[in-house]
Structure 1
Amino acid sequence: MSAITAFVASATVQPGFADEPVKRSGLGIVMYDCNLRRKWMKKQDPSVNLFDPLTFVQHCRSLGAGGAQVALGSLSRRDCDNLRQFADEHDLYIETIVKPPRDRDDLSRFDAEMKAARNAGAKAARTVIIPGRRYEYFNSYADFKAAAKLGHAMVERALPIVEKYEVPLAIENHKDERIDDRVALLERINSPMVGACVDTGNSFSLLDDVYGSIEALAPFACSVHFKDQSLSEYDDGFLLGDIPLGQGSFDLKRIVEIIRTAKPNLQFSLEVITRDALKVPCLTEEYWRSVTEPTGGDLARTLQFVRRNSAKAISVTSLPLIDQVKLEDINIASSLNYAQRELGL
């Protein structure tokens, strides 16, 4: 073991969790958790694609996960049948990842993907409706609202197809709309086939209350991106990063209880993306150009939470790729073990 690999292990493995073989967890894995392993595998053999749906589901099973959230695309009926058979044989759940229809010309693509989701037995189709992190992507609140209007139109355009195939469309709170606006959208659509992919960390970047945002979305939940977060201050605001479950700043037992109370049988999918912590520059003028809704009280509550619940993640991009992959593996294994042992997932 190299010195840098030893540092990776000592910095991220919680004793008693990732240092033992993974027992089977009901927690699934989001494909983005394995970005680095996919990249490394492609460097070894360009013909190998870890994100091929059946390959990825098999990989998730080998890690001890209970399911997978992966883009299915417009799989053939035969491939859908093979995927569904494997998942059924091994008691795994499948969720897909889709893009909503941009316009009428895009409806056939969306229809094919939702048909594949149904044929593969997907429990939900996770999506996002507004591009990018709001405070990075938009230069003004007007620009953001125009994009949000287009995103809402995409949901309305998707609705008949979603209801035809009866696979719930799960819209993620993707550092885009604040929770009040997202809840208003879901209430207006008012369909059991359109709900939320509850990301348990994202809304903190828009100065929403950590647990209040989850409570508001939980009744609409069709899917969960379950994560812990590292929090630390920097000059322009705070750093927000994915970190193995149980090693971050959030009360995960409280989060599980909130969601389970609203949706007792809902699947949880781990999202722990191994990367450098993201900057949330909430003390800059640029941030407030597009994020205008929060109050001074929201900002104060958020920064107090950061100071009282600080947890740091190590730098990832400074490591060689092979050590990034090892760190990614450790983060997933540690999280699965923690979820199974401590959270009953």
Structure 2
Amino acid sequence: MDKKMKLGLHTYTLHLWGLGQNWGIIAEPRPKEMTLMQLMDKAVEWGLDGLHITGCDLESKDEKRLKEVRTAAGERGLYLEYNFSLNEEFDPRLTDSIQDGIRIAERLGADIGKISLDIRRPRPLYGSCFHPAVMRQLCDVYDEVKAALPLLEKTGIKLALENHTETYADEILWLIDKINHPLVGACVDTVNSMGVLEDPVSAVEKLAPYAFANHFCDHKLDRDQFGIRFHGVALGDGDIDCVRVYNTIKKLSPTDRITFEIEWDMGDDPLEVARQKEMDACIKSIKYAREVLGIGK
């Protein structure tokens, strides 16, 4: 039976509005131009089913705030997924221990806790899959996840390990296999593998069968005399085969949700101009997801 997919938004899509994460900014974070509650209202207006949120969006992780967010999402009929990191380099608001992240997810009413492993790789990045320095870090993650299994079982939260920008798909699969628990799977990001010079389609095909969650992104690769760089664009405007990747996730993944994410690059634009372009790309991506990919139909 062909399953009907839901559509959710990763809040990093609007990072220039102060949501998601201040990636690459160690100093003063960007001011919030939109609150989480305002974003929830936008999600309803756009016909979205849920949000993939971070500690940056929560502003506080105390009981009162978590209950407030849970209630607001419930009133609007939105599911929540909680995104956290083990050792976020630029924005410490995203960092939680695995057990704390699980507890926060439960109190939010989220059913998924997604973690970035934040592996610090030796150079060169390419060809370093399963490097000894990486394996030591992966073993630490293994120990922490194993210690959290009783809490996962108690709460029913699914833990999704992401192929973040510094992690190979095979390393995520190694962890999932060694942990060997039904509540521990993957979060497949459709572009992150390029950060370690890994083919994104191959990474999606490897991880999709284990993926409780996803970051559905499109990137465009530009080439000049100095080399190549990739930057985030609206879905369908880049070099990722979004139709193929979507069909792979829909067919192989246990999830019925697509979480789209735009890693908009402001380039040389003033912040206010870039913000509006980011918002336009968000709305364009929703249209692409509905009309081209057929999500929700």
Same fold (TM over 0.5): yes
Partner of 2:84: 98
> Which is worse superposed, 53-62 or 244-253?
53-62
Paired residues of 1:231 and 1:241 also in contact (CA < 8 A):
yes
Residues 244-286 of structure 1: per-residue CA shift (max 9 Å, x gap) = 10111122111111111123642111111112xxxxxxxxxxx
The 3 A distance-change label for structure 1 pair 181 and 115 is closer
Distance 1:267 1:131 in 2: 27
CA distance in 2, matches of 1:181, 1:112: 24
Distance 2:292 2:72 in 1: 28
Partner of 1:332: 282
Query: Aligned to 1:122, which of 72, 85, 110?
Result: 110
- Residues 222 and 230 of structure 2 are in contact (CA less than 8 Å); yes or no, is this contact kept in structure 1? yes
Shift of 1:154: 3.2
- Residue 87 (structure 1) aligned with residue 67 (structure 2): no
Partner Cα distance (1:134, 1:51) in 2: 38
CA pair 220-253 structure 1, distance change in 2 beyond 3 A: same
SS in structure 2 at match of 1:268: strand
The count of aligned residue pairs is 269
- Distance change >3 Å, CA 51–CA 164, structure 1 → 2: farther
Cα distance, 1:331 vs structure 2: 1.2
CA pair 100-319 structure 1, distance change in 2 beyond 3 A: closer
Quote the offset at 1:97 in angstroms: 1.5
Given that residues 113 and 159 in structure 2 are in contact (C-alpha distance below 8 angstroms), is that contact kept between their aligned partners in structure 1?
Answer: yes
Q: Secondary structure at the match of 2:229?
A: strand
Q: Corresponding residue for 1:57?
A: 40
2:49 is aligned to 66
> Cα deviations across residues 158-192 of structure 1 (Å, max 9, x unaligned)?
33333332211111101223222221211111112
Higher RCO structure, 1 or 2 (CA under 8 Å, sep 6+): 1
2:215–2:260 Cα contact (<8 Å) kept: yes
User: Which has the higher mean CA deviation after the structures are superposed, 327-336 or 232-241?
Assistant: 232-241
Q: Does 1:320 align with 2:270?
A: yes
Q: Determine the structure 2 residue equivalent to 1:28.
A: 8
Segments of structure 1 that go 5 or more residues without pairing to the other structure are 1-24, 40-45, 103-107, 276-315
Larger radius of gyration: 1
Shift in alpha-carbon separation, 1:85–1:334, aligned structure 2, 3 A: same
Partner residue of 2:138 out of 131, 148, 152:
148
CA distance in 1, matches of 2:258, 2:124: 28
Query: Could you tell me how far apart the structure 2 residues matched to 1:111 and 1:211 are?
Result: 32
2:163–2:187 CA contact under 8 A, matched in 1? yes
| Equivalent AA in structure 1 for residue 77 of structure 2 | D
Partner Cα distance (2:143, 2:13) in 1: 30
What is the identity, as a one-letter code, of the residue corresponding to 1:119? Answer: R
Q: Is contact 1:28-1:65 (8 Å) kept?
A: yes
What secondary structure sits across from 2:103 in the alignment?
helix
- More strand, by proportion: 2
- The answer to whether the aligner puts 1:197 opposite 2:187 as a matched pair is yes
What runs of 5+ residues in structure 2 fail to find an aligned partner? Answer: 20-28, 89-95
CA distance in 2 between partners of 1:321 and 1:195 (Å): 37
Q: TM-score, structure 1 length as denominator?
A: 0.67
| Secondary structure in 2 matching 1:27 | strand
Aligned-partner Cα distance in 2 for 1:96–1:150: 22
Tell me which protein shows more helix as a share of its residues. 1
Q: Which residue type is aligned with residue 274 of structure 2?
A: Q
Distance in structure 2 (CA, Å) of the matches to 1:101 and 1:190: 24
SS of residue in 2 equivalent to 1:161:
helix
Moved more, 266-275 or 152-161: 152-161
Equivalence for 2:159: 169
Inter-CA distance 235–50: structure 2 relative to 1 (3 Å threshold): same
SS in 2 for 1:215: helix
Distance in 2 between residues matched to 1:199 and 1:158, nearest whole Å:
24
| In structure 1, C-alpha distance between the alignment counterparts of 2:254 and 2:224, rounded to whole Å | 38
| Percent identical residues | 27
* Secondary structure at 2:18 match in 1: helix
SS, match of residue 87 in structure 1: helix
